[in-house]
């Protein structure tokens, strides 16, 4: 055949994405043969029974088929009707036309107001791009930053493999910096400096540092001081920052709160540090993964570079309009006093409460198993426990054997990166609460046998 494996490039061949790798493929096969699989490999809440928020879906339905306003009067709350009408007017041509490359301006203005309310700082709607989920935004910015094979991007270890996969695909260098497992997976300045120094010694031109906050897969939540430290580090070394903040609503410990990089950047007045921040409809309490909605916003980016971002985005025309609408619904929830507010608050509260319970249940359960040790799950949707393995066995072996023995599908720690000599796996906290206990019990039994 005219296309052969040997013709493909190194970049393609070396790209890895463990979240949907061979273990997940094997799970699919087992499922085809009638096996019950508990998919803990991917943060896909609605596949495990989480319901979509009514607010989102009512707005989406009306925007898709505005004739419903006349055909089914009284079916939708008045605030949904008004919101859908406003969005449709904002799009000018409905959901069937390409929008501007950046996304519908009316929706970008709503995102700007959301950020203003959250951070008390303004943002130019033209510095916001609506994207098909956060992943596409991250890929655009990495494409922008990587100018040649000597360019490197600092990525936390463990990391979400979108970063390693995209850097490999764009033929840049991943510069790992380690998160401190013994210290709740926090970042430390010495570890950042050590990582950068080593990269420089290897001839890498480091362009940027990625931070995932709350952390995936670690669940760590950064405080203001930690963020200020990263910004100071970036400033000292002339790096740009990619802040992956898609789990900003997923904070579980009392006293913790989400602080955005944008807010701290503003406070410390680091005007020379370029920042790209990412958000998504897929996580938080919405869990609208299938809609592929999200945005990125940037700060301190010169106009000529901004023009290049716009150009890159324009080749892909625009993000899908349903995703843009879902982004609007995310940043503009019903306010107290509006007809949809009570239902929205109840749905949101129930989901977040459930996630919190599961985070506690799972971490406690894992820690009761001898040979498994798990940090508190402070945020996001995952546990990344450390496991002790018999000599000669890898965490890949472990995850595959776990799948075969129990039907539980997790991702080996090697897919995210881990300190030399350690082994982990990542599991989501998403199975229904009654199943979490089952998962923990099955894991415990499996782990004893595997050792």
Measured from the CB atom, is 311 or 393 closer to a copy of itself? Answer: 311
| CB of 4 vs a copy of itself, minimal distance in Å | 6
- Cα dihedral 40/45/46/52 (nearest 10): 170
Nearer to a copy of itself, 208 or 362 (CB): 208
136 binds a copy of itself (CB under 8 A): yes
**Closest approach of Cβ 291 to a copy of itself, in Å?**
6
CA 53 to CA 350: how far, in whole Å? 11
Nearer to a copy of itself, 174 or 220 (CB): 174
- Radius of gyration of the CA atoms of the chain, in A: 22
- Given the structure tokens 């897929």, which residue do they identify? 282
Q: Which of 78, 183, 316, 433 binds a copy of itself (CB under 8 A)?
A: 316
- Is 28 or 349 the residue whose CB approaches a copy of itself more closely? 28
**Residue selected from 121, 301, 352, 361 as contacting a copy of itself according to rule CB under 8 A:** 301
Query: 333-356 b/e with 16+ CB inside 10 Å = b?
Result: bbeeebebbeebeebbeebbebbb
Instruction: For the segment 319-348, give every residue that binds a copy of itself (CB under 8 A).
Output: 319-323
Give min distance, CB of 312 to a copy of itself, in A.
7
Of 314 and 433, which CB lies nearer to a copy of itself in the complex structure?
314
Distance CA 416, CA 406 (A): 23
**Residue of 378, 349, 59, 332 whose CA lies nearest to 213:** 378
Stretch 196-255 residues interacting with a copy of itself (CB under 8 A): 207-208, 234-235, 238-240
Q: Which of residues 351-410 bind a copy of itself (CB under 8 A)?
A: none
Give 308 or 388: the residue with its C-beta nearer to a copy of itself: 308
Q: Which is nearer to a copy of itself, 186 or 358 (CB)?
A: 358
Cβ(436)–Cβ(377) under 8 Å? Answer: no
Q: Which of residues 151-190 bind a copy of itself (CB under 8 A)?
A: 151, 162, 165-166, 169
Residues 6+ apart with CB under 8 A from 140: 129, 131, 296, 309, 312, 313
Residue range at the interface with a copy of itself (CB under 8 A); choices 122-130, 317-325, 385-393, 406-414: 317-325
Give the range of 111-119, 272-280, 329-337, 421-429 binding a copy of itself by CB under 8 A: 272-280
Q: Which of residues 65-104 bind a copy of itself (CB under 8 A)?
A: 65, 67-68, 71-72, 75, 91-101
Task: Name the phi and psi angles at 176, rounded to 5.
Answer: -80, 140
- Closest approach, Cβ 262 to a copy of itself, in A, equals 15
Out of 2, 269, 337, 420, the residue judged to bind a copy of itself by CB under 8 A? 2
Contacting range for a copy of itself; rule: CB under 8 A; set: 212-220, 258-266, 289-297, 388-396: 289-297
Environment class of residue 63 by beta-carbon count within 10 Å: exposed (0-12), middle (13-18) or buried (19+)?
buried
Cα distances from 23 to residues 19, 81, 395, in angstroms, run 9, 45, 11
| Strand segments (E) across 232-290 | 240-244, 275-280
The stretch among 302-310, 345-353, 363-371, 402-410 that binds a copy of itself (CB under 8 A) is: 302-310
**Considering only 143-151, 327-335, 408-416, 432-440, which stretch makes contact with a copy of itself by CB under 8 A?**
143-151
Task: Tell me the torsion sign for CA atoms 101, 106, 107, 111.
Answer: positive
Q: 44 vs 354, which CB is nearer to a copy of itself? A: 44
Site size toward a copy of itself (CB under 8 A) is: 100
**Region from 54-62, 254-262, 345-353, 357-365 binding a copy of itself, contact rule CB under 8 A:** 54-62
d(C-alpha 24, C-alpha 42), whole Å: 10
CB 433 within 8 A of CB 357: yes
Rounded to a whole number, what is the largest CA-CA distance in the chain? 68
Q: Is 144 in the site for a copy of itself (CB under 8 A)?
A: yes
**426 sits near a copy of itself (criterion: CB under 8 A):** no
Here's the x/- map for a copy of itself, 7-46, by CB under 8 A: it reads as xxxxxxx-xxx-xx-------x-------------x-xxx
Closer CB to a copy of itself, residue 411 or residue 440?
411
Q: How many CB atoms lie within 10 A of CB 14?
A: 12
Distance between CA 274 and CA 240 in Å, rounded?
A: 5
Give the integer Cα–Cα distance in Å for 200 and 231: 19
CB nearer to a copy of itself: give 122 or 238. 238
- DSSP code string of 140-161: HHHHHH--STTEEEEEEES--T
CA–CA distance, 163 with 254 (Å, rounded to integer)? 30
For a copy of itself, which is the closer residue by CB, 240 or 375? 240
Contact (CB, 8 A) for 137 and 131: yes
């Amino acid at each position: 055949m005219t296309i052969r494996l040997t013709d493909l490039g190194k970049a393609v061949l070396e790209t890895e994405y463990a979240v949907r790798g061979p273990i997940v493929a094997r799970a699919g096969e087992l499922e085809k043969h009638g096996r019950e699989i508990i998919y803990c490999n991917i943060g896909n809440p609605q596949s495990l029974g989480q319901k979509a928020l009514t607010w989102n879906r009512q707005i989406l339905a009306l925007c898709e088929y505005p004739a419903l306003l006349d055909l089914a009067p009284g079916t939708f709350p008045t605030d949904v009707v008004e919101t859908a009408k406003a969005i449709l007017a904002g799009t000018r041509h409905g959901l069937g036309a390409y929008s501007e490359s950046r996304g519908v301006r009316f929706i970008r203005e709503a995102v700007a107001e959301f950020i203003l309310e959250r951070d008390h700082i303004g943002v130019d709607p033209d510095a916001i791009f609506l994207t098909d989920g956060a992943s596409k935004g991250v890929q655009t910015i990495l494409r922008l930053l990587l100018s040649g094979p000597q360019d490197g991007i600092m990525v936390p270890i463990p990391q979400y493999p979108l970063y390693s996969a995209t850097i490999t695909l764009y033929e840049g260098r991943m510069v790992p910096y380690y998160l401190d497992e013994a210290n709740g997976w926090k970042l430390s300045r010495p570890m950042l400096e050590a990582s950068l120094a080593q990269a420089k010694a290897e001839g890498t031109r480091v362009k940027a540092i990625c931070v995932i906050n709350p952390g995936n897969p670690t669940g760590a939540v950064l405080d203001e001081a930690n963020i200020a430290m990263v910004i100071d580090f970036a400033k000292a070394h002339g790096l740009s920052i990619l802040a992956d903040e898609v789990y900003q609503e997923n904070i579980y410990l009392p006293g913790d709160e989400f602080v955005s990089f944008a807010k701290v950047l503003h406070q410390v007045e680091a005007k020379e540090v370029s920042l790209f921040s990412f958000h998504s409809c897929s996580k938080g309490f919405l869990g609208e993964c299938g809609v592929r909605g999200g945005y990125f916003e940037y700060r301190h980016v010169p106009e000529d570079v901004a023009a290049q971002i716009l150009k890159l985005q324009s080749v892909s025309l625009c993000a899908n309009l349903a995703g843009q609408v879902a982004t609007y619904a995310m940043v503009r929830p019903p306010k107290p006093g509006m007809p949809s507010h009570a239902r929205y608050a109840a749905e949101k509260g129930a989901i977040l409460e459930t996630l919190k319970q599961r985070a506690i249940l799972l971490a406690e359960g894992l820690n009761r198993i001898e040979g498994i040790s798990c940090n508190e799950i402070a945020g996001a949707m995952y546990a990344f426990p450390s496991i002790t393995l018999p000599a000669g066995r890898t965490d890949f072996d472990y995850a595959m054997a776990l799948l075969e023995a129990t039907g539980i599908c997790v991702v080996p720690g090697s897919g995210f990166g881990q300190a030399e000599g350690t082994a982990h796996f990542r599991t989501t906290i998403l199975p229904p609460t009654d199943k979490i206990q089952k998962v923990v019990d099955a894991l415990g039994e499996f782990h004893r046998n595997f050792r």
